[in-house]
Amino acid sequence: MRATNKYCYFMEPTDGLFDAKDDVHCIPLTLFRGFHVETGDNTKLTMCFGHNKVTPGIDTAKAITTGSLNTGQNDVDEMVFTITANKQKEVIQDLVSLFNANYEDGFLVIADNSNSKFASSFISSVAVNMAE
């Protein structure tokens, strides 16, 4: 059976252990908001998602449609990739192709530092920055 939703998987630590807060992040592709580059760093690319942590007392269904599961409108989870210098466009192309591909299980490994598995050959690592 084909998955109806796709989920993006990110693993920050290199030791394979799930032993610290926000070591791993698996987020619905529907919360993807875009990419950006920080000023002056040609080896970084940031992938942004609407915040994924559920806050007690909010309307989760409404929050999903607005792109944030937290109470603040500017809450964004950021996955910061270290990439080959000046290859932002190529990384974005690789990831968009992955997003548009058909996958039976809906599980997209975007960046897994522990297993050195990355959705683009231009990505060498990821840092997971969760909004609080």
- The tens digit of pLDDT for each residue in 82-98 reads 999 999 999 999 999 99
* CB distance 27 to 51 below 8 Å: no
Q: Is residue 76 part of a domain?
A: yes
- Band (pLDDT 50/70/90 cuts) for residue 15 is low
How many domains does the structure of the chain reveal?
1
Q: Is residue 49 part of a domain?
A: yes
Strand partners, 46: 36, 80
- Band (pLDDT 50/70/90 cuts) for residue 56 is very low
**Which pTM value belongs to this model?**
0.78
Q: Is residue 116 part of a domain?
A: yes
Model pLDDT, residue 68: 45
Q: Is residue 2 part of a domain?
A: no
Q: Is residue 36 part of a domain?
A: yes
Query: Which whole number is the average pLDDT over 100-115?
Result: 91
Q: Is residue 58 part of a domain?
A: yes
pLDDT digits (tens, 9 = 90+) for 24-50: 889 999 999 999 998 789 999 999 998
Q: Give the Å distances, CA to CA, from 28 to 16, 37, 53, 64, 112.
A: 22, 22, 12, 10, 17
Q: Is residue 1 part of a domain?
A: no
What is residue 47's DSSP assignment? E
Range of the domain at 38: 7-129
d(CA 93, CA 101): 12
With residue 91 as reference, give the H or E element that holds it.
helix 88-100
